[in-house]
A and B are shown apart, each in its own frame.
Chain A
């Protein structure tokens, strides 16, 4: 069962009428996209809701005592246990409802970075998904350990420079392709998995609502370009996210398991590209504005490495088209 609660589609008018639940005054870097993503996501709040964050950028920048940016109840416990913490919260309300102490179980939403989700927090996430706890896990993916100063993670893109995958004279940045976390979550057979981009906010907000309404675990992978870590101008975060989608480096899709059947579909710009392949931009356009890929262009252009990334992107795109029944 995907959904017990069928919410009306959230419109731009709704979004404008809803107050922000992530307050200004937080300490994130200029141009930080992760908090923009959380602000967008909280526009989908329609019921009593509790938020959970693992240790990470969004945690340290929003909760420095004596201030808080959170307009809903929020908890941080540690780095690798956000999913387990959310599971405990859900279990508690389930029991309280059974004992007649609360009338309903609130929505529970986790906002975790890639380190806390793809790497150190993956075991807790996988376990909670297998047990079927009813919460939405939102991964704001800035593709490295940005909070500790740009170290590579399992989500870092291939050949990206980070402080622990430096672009050296022998090794040109991170040698490995990133972990396909959203597809791994689909294979957990949970009711709802999606990818989203802050460059398509209404798509993102409605996916968050669908994830919250799903009965059982839901997972949404959001791309979060980081001006500090990806080395671009702080005003360009949303543009870089848009390029990721337009080049198919980060395709948008959603997957629902319902009655043992998987419904897998491309959404937004990615669906448009599937219908009209000439809209697909070369990945170079996404790589070029980012300083973390500068070594692919200077001192000389590394056509071989760019072609390697393009091949990886094409293969993933072909796989998704097939998965969506469009190839």
Chain B
């Protein structure tokens, strides 16, 4: 049964702030940075007007923003923050603390280029660098998805099999500052969907009455009223550290399932279904363009136009980049002759952009592999048009026809 939904004109930033308001986490700790600032501005208005009971902590840096979220989440409370670019870079250290402590923090990232030279516009260099920090990464195509994904993020993060922090990514300015019609759920439906925050039980060994020790189960949180106090963020040597890291990998694997389950459940509620990847016209495609974020909306127009001209082209958008849905992508690309892989970030000196290398690795175990071409595009907010995508697809059709890739890495819209 799809719930009746109101339509509100909102930017991507506002859509995220609105979703966070409806979830009403205990703590929002954030620092302003373009193009994320609207999220904290809108949210502080909700606080000032008494629309939420959330404690808003206007910290003095992004490092402290995420640190405050770690402290808050360690008490079993819900915590949210938002950042971009340099702000994420400053948080780097604490990204690993949050995931290592298994704290289900939700963070919106408004993707922006990294300095130097300084640039405030969109690319994915910020979060691509954080791809191995143990955070789940979901990339949105439009503001509707930004709203929907922010709500789903809590369910994914807090799932007992997952317990990992989640980044909800939207493209700077392209989505953050662009007005769209967004369908929103009633507050109580959102509250019911996310449910009450829960914490897992952990087992600790404590002194027993009359000597010796016993094992007890306690809530995994800082609880000064609990009969047995918990030590969190302890010092692990070579005899235990490895096991903690192995457990994080298991949680990531579980997240592959949970992202899909939550996306399906959300679809039943709203009519908008979400998965790990989204495809368009790939069933009989010879050539597929793969990428993530808002540009894939533009790409879909190019695909449709080329289809009308009789070209067998399709599109695969990766919504969940971490954990990487390798199996889904292998399945989707079976039978495809050539793939254009779009990267809005560089891996300097690497074999290709981050999306390219992941896809290449995922396909390596396939008996029949498509040809791959890596396209670097849109760095520092350089626009990519329908015409650009048509060119990319036509070039890749040529590669498919010739059966060989001459130039593995190409640049879209680069001068000179």
Residue numbers of A with Cβ under 8 A of B are 48-50, 52, 59-60, 63-66, 68, 70-78, 80-81, 83-89, 91-96, 98-99, 106, 123-124, 126-128, 130-131
Q: Report if A74-B72 is in contact (Cβ < 8 Å); known contacts: A96-B77, A124-B64.
A: no
Q: Report if A92-B232 is in contact (Cβ < 8 Å); known contacts: A64-B237, A98-B53.
A: no
Query: A72 near B224 (CB under 8 angstroms)?
Result: yes
Query: B237 near A77 (CB under 8 angstroms)?
Result: no
**Bound Cα distance from A60 to B65, whole angstroms:** 24
Q: Report if A65-B94 is in contact (Cβ < 8 Å); known contacts: A75-B232, A123-B61.
A: no
Q: Report if A73-B224 is in contact (Cβ < 8 Å); known contacts: A78-B97, A81-B67, A96-B75.
A: yes
5 further interface pairs, Cβ-Cβ under 8 Å (given A50-B75, A63-B234, A74-B229): A68-B234, A74-B222, A77-B71, A91-B57, A94-B55
Chain B residues with CB below 8 A from A131, complex form: 57-59
The 9 residue pairs across chains A and B that have the minimum distance between CB atoms:
A88-B71, A127-B60, A88-B68, A48-B224, A81-B67, A84-B64, A84-B67, A92-B77, A95-B26
**Bound Cα distance from A110 to B22, whole angstroms:** 33
Chain B residues with CB below 8 A from A68, complex form: 231, 234
Chain A residues with CB below 8 A from B70, complex form: 77, 81, 85, 88
Within 8 A of A (CB), among B213-231: 222-226, 229-231
Q: Report if A92-B67 is in contact (Cβ < 8 Å); known contacts: A48-B224, A65-B236.
A: no
Quote the shortest CB–CB distance from A223 to chain B (angstroms). Answer: 25
**B54 touches A (CB below 8 Å):** yes
Query: A63 near B231 (CB under 8 angstroms)?
Result: yes
Q: Report if A91-B233 is in contact (Cβ < 8 Å); known contacts: A49-B224, A73-B226, A84-B63.
A: no
Within 8 A of A (CB), among B76-100: 77, 79, 93-94, 97
Query: B68 near A91 (CB under 8 angstroms)?
Result: yes
Name 12 A/B residue pairs within 8 A (Cβ), A-sorted.
A73-B223, A73-B229, A84-B64, A88-B27, A88-B57, A92-B26, A93-B75, A95-B26, A96-B77, A106-B224, A123-B61, A124-B63
**B167 touches A (CB below 8 Å):** no
**Bound Cα distance from A89 to B94, whole angstroms:** 16
In the complex, number of A-B residue pairs with CB atoms less than 8 Å apart: 159
**B348 touches A (CB below 8 Å):** no
For A76, A92, A95, A124, the residue with the greatest tally of chain B CB atoms inside 10 Å of its CB is A92
Query: B233 near A77 (CB under 8 angstroms)?
Result: yes
Query: B72 near A88 (CB under 8 angstroms)?
Result: yes
**Bound Cα distance from A66 to B215, whole angstroms:** 13
Count B interface residues, CB 8 Å.
Answer: 45
Query: A87 near B68 (CB under 8 angstroms)?
Result: yes
Binary flags per residue of B19-33, CB closer than 8 Å to A gives 1, else 0: 000000011010000
Residue numbers of B with Cβ under 8 A of A are 26-27, 29, 53-55, 57-61, 63-65, 67-75, 77, 79, 93-94, 97, 101, 205, 222-226, 229-237, 240
Chain B residues with CB below 8 A from A126, complex form: 60
Quote the shortest CB–CB distance from B194 to chain A (angstroms). Answer: 14
**Bound Cα distance from A94 to B68, whole angstroms:** 13
**Bound Cα distance from A85 to B94, whole angstroms:** 11
**Bound Cα distance from A75 to B68, whole angstroms:** 12
Chain A residues with CB below 8 A from B63, complex form: 80-81, 84, 124
Contact of A92 among B59, B60, B79, B236 (CB under 8 A): B79
Query: A91 near B74 (CB under 8 angstroms)?
Result: no
Q: Report if A92-B72 is in contact (Cβ < 8 Å); known contacts: A73-B222, A85-B67, A87-B57.
A: yes
Query: B68 near A77 (CB under 8 angstroms)?
Result: no
Q: Report if A91-B27 is in contact (Cβ < 8 Å); known contacts: A72-B229, A73-B223, A126-B60.
A: yes
Q: Please, which residue of chain B has its CB at the minimum distance from the CB of A68?
A: B231
Query: A123 near B53 (CB under 8 angstroms)?
Result: no
Chain B residues with CB below 8 A from A66, complex form: 205, 240
Quote the shortest CB–CB distance from B21 to chain A (angstroms). Answer: 14
Contact of B97 among A50, A59, A77, A98 (CB under 8 A): A77
